[in-house]
Amino acid sequence: MIRVVASVLLTALIAVACTDASRSAPAEASASQSSSADASGVPSEPVGVAEAVPNCANVPPIEAPPERYAEEPVYVGNEMPTEAVHRWASEQAGFEGIWIDRGNFGWVTVAFSIDADARQAELEEMFPDDGVVAVAVDWTNAELEALQGRIVDELSPLFPVSTGTLINHGVVNIGIGVLSPERLAVVDERFASDRVCVEGMDPVGLPQPGPQPLAGDGWQLIADEATGSPYRTGIAWDDASLGALWVEAGLAAEVAEVDFTRDVAIWFGAVFSGSCPDIRLDDVVIDQERRIVHAEIVQLDVMQACTADANPRAWVVTLERSRLPVAPFSVQLGSPDSGSGVPEERTVVEADLRVPGSVAVPNQVHGDPGLPEPSFVESGQVIEPNFDALYRMSVHCGVEWLGELNGINWRAEVPAGEVDWVPPAWQPVVTDETLTLDILMREAPDPTVTATANGLSVVYRPSREALPGCD
């Protein structure tokens, strides 16, 4: 299912995510970026001097020398003195930017193009108990903003482009939609000597262009209109139920003829963004093991972002009864792995409709009041301190390491000599090597994550060690 979502994360001063790693920078570029730096961690030459503009995911963040960081304080939320530091820094010559470094326990980093060492000494004097560091940079914010303007002027006439300043990496990102060889060549030709990085989607993973399929394995499309209500599904088993479904879906076309001795009709009330309208129903998937029938809907637009307006798209297909799962089964827009939904999005069918000509009686077809499903947090995500969250983790290698939350690795003390440790009280609630925990994060001065299951709580504390691998 194509879902329009709005993600809410902890407040920070800048957005720094560059997630597409499908285009790796050349080995020479990676080496120069990681090793050719002065004592302040600043690259000694522009990022783009390599033969190709690197992918944003491969550009290292700017950090202070390791000795400037201490084991404390550890910031897990937004409790660091960002506003006070910013007020002071903005009055200093050469101030270029400020950000929260989640990779270094949430310390505040302040970039200066002039006298960074002097500013470091002043920060230590003014904020002696806080985690604040100064870094020297060989660029200015004005230079990066000018580079953004040049990118727009030169590339926007050629293909859709977006750009922004990744201040904590000291580069300007160039979003080109699709990382096609042709577009990459243009970027390399014009900006290889500049402080830039590129981001976009891997063309290998994009859906192939083409028209809407009219049929697939066991199914046939009988209606396709931009109408109705989004996030909806339905099923019909005879002429009367099809007429009701047709009205509910808001279809303007004449009701289709269906051979209900052989087929049922299924409505997928999908959703699309007004800025990314090009979606396509590629297949109807029957998951016999999980007793689910769902649509496989792909997004064909290659824009970097879509607006969060929900517009309806109605597809109705016939599906051979012999392919239906054993009752009870569900009809839903996307696979169970695509996220939670709304009650009307999943249609629960308690009647066995596999028999030719069989029908459902009242109360045998209904929405699923269990939706929306609980939203589970997993390692690598961000949570709000002082609020409970449900956390899902694998126990294949034990639970000594909770994982990464808010950019910090969390570790518990385990009994001596224990390997792959799982508390005895937690073992009965482990399902398929997966454990669901109720977690609560607390901030400084003693940041912790308390994980609770089956009446037992385990306290996890920050660790600078890397998360171990799991065999």
The string of pLDDT tens digits covering residues 126-152 is: 999 999 999 999 999 999 999 999 999
What percentage of the chain has pLDDT greater than the value 70?
A: 84
pLDDT the model gives residue 386: 87
pLDDT the model gives residue 67: 94
The DSSP-derived string for 120-176 is HHHHHHHSTTS-EEEEE-SS-HHHHHHHHHHHHHHHTTTS--EEEEETTTTEEEEEE
Give yes or no for residue 375 having a pLDDT over 80. Answer: no
Backbone angles phi, psi at 171, to 5 degrees: -140, 165
Query: In this predicted model, which residue has the larger pLDDT, 16 or 363?
Result: 363
User: pLDDT band at 11, cuts 50/70/90?
Assistant: very low
Q: What mean pLDDT is predicted for residues 236-254?
A: 95
Give yes or no for residue 39 having a pLDDT over 80. Answer: no
pLDDT the model gives residue 5: 30
pLDDT the model gives residue 93: 96
Query: Has this prediction a pTM greater than 0.75?
Result: no
pLDDT the model gives residue 44: 35
pLDDT the model gives residue 416: 86
299: which 2 tokens?
Answer: 């997004």
Partners of 216 in the β-ladder: 219
pLDDT the model gives residue 6: 30
Partners of 314 in the β-ladder: 225, 269
What percentage of the chain has pLDDT greater than the value 90?
A: 65
Give yes or no for residue 226 having a pLDDT over 50. Answer: yes
The terminus-to-terminus CA distance of the chain in angstroms comes to 33
Cis (ω within 30 of 0) for the bond into 372?
yes
- Tens-digit pLDDT profile for residues 76-102: 988 999 999 999 999 999 999 999 999
* Residue keyed to tokens 């470094």: 101
User: pLDDT band at 22, cuts 50/70/90?
Assistant: very low
Closest CA to 236 of 355, 328, 349, 369: 349
Sign of the torsion angle spanned by Cα atoms 237, 240, 245, 250: positive
